[in-house]
Structure 1
Amino acid sequence: MATPTDVRHDPQRGMFELDMDGGTAHVEYRRDGDTMVILHTIVPEALSGRGIAGTLNAAALDHARKAGLRVDPQCEYTASYVRRNPAYGDLLVGDNRSS
């Protein structure tokens, strides 16, 4: 199983990527000041069901924490991942924070 340390970060392209079994999955984001706006989580169908989306999101959120960034999860998968993993809740900006 892939781990967040297997994930490549390409800040120029705003991507966290993971190559596995001939396919590439990724999380796409853009920076807005001190906020990482997570736009999409894309996992090819052939790679689905292996926890890859979670691994990618953990890597992105861990990076945001280490870099002192806030997170705006525009991607529905990322928003649901944070709800299931409340240790990341403190990273969320504004209306995304749970009450």
Structure 2
Amino acid sequence: MDIEHHIDGSKGKVTAKIGIGPLAEMTYSAAGERLIIIDHTEVPDVYRGQGVGLAMVEYAVEMARESDRSILPLCPFAAAQFRRHPEWSDVLNRSASKGEAG
């Protein structure tokens, strides 16, 4: 799986693909110096169940750890992944409501 990170000002995108397949993408916005807001994740049907979406969220978690930022997962998929991975709590933005990210 190839994962790439693209930044355009305060907007960012993480893309993933397997071989010559289509792109999966996760978009986010940077809010100030300390916060990443994941707002959308889209995975083509051909990748479903292969961990592609999870890999993109994991990439964001590592990116947040390396840059001393927190993540607010507004995207339902990303929020669900944060609920499933309590080991990511170190980067979970504490202002997230329980309904969004647990």
What residue number does 1:19 align with? Answer: 17
Rounded Cα–Cα distance in structure 2 between residues aligned with 1:97 and 1:64: 19
CA shift, 1:72, in A, is 0.5
Structure 1 residues 45-87: Cα deviation after superposition (integer angstroms, max 9, x where no partner): 1211111010111011111111111111001111111111111
Structure 1, gaps ≥5 residues long: none
How far, CA to CA, are the matches of 2:88 and 2:97 in structure 1? Answer: 10
1:89–1:97 contact (8 Å) kept in structure 2: no
Superposition deviation, residue 96 in structure 1: 2.5
1:19 counterpart letter in structure 2: K
- Deviation above 6 Å: which 4+ runs of structure 1? none
TM-score normalized with structure 1 length? 0.85
Task: Please give the root-mean-square deviation of Cα atoms over the aligned residues, in Å.
Answer: 1.8
In the superposition, the TM-score normalised over structure 2's length comes to: 0.83
Other structure's SS at 1:95 match? coil
Conserved? CA contact 1:83–1:89, under 8 Å: no
Deviates more, 1:24-33 or 1:79-88: 79-88
Distance 2:14 2:96 in 1: 22
The whole-number CA distance in structure 2 between the counterparts of 1:83 and 1:89 is 9
Report how many residues are paired: 95
Query: Equivalent residues in 2 for 1:42-57 (5 A)?
Result: 42-57=42-57
Does the CA-based 8 Å contact 1:90-1:97 persist in structure 2? no
Residue type at the aligned position of 2:21: G
Judging by fraction of residues, say which structure has more helix: 1
What fraction of aligned residue pairs are identical, expressed as a percent? 26
Structure number with the bigger relative contact order (C-alpha 8 A, sep ≥ 6) is: 1
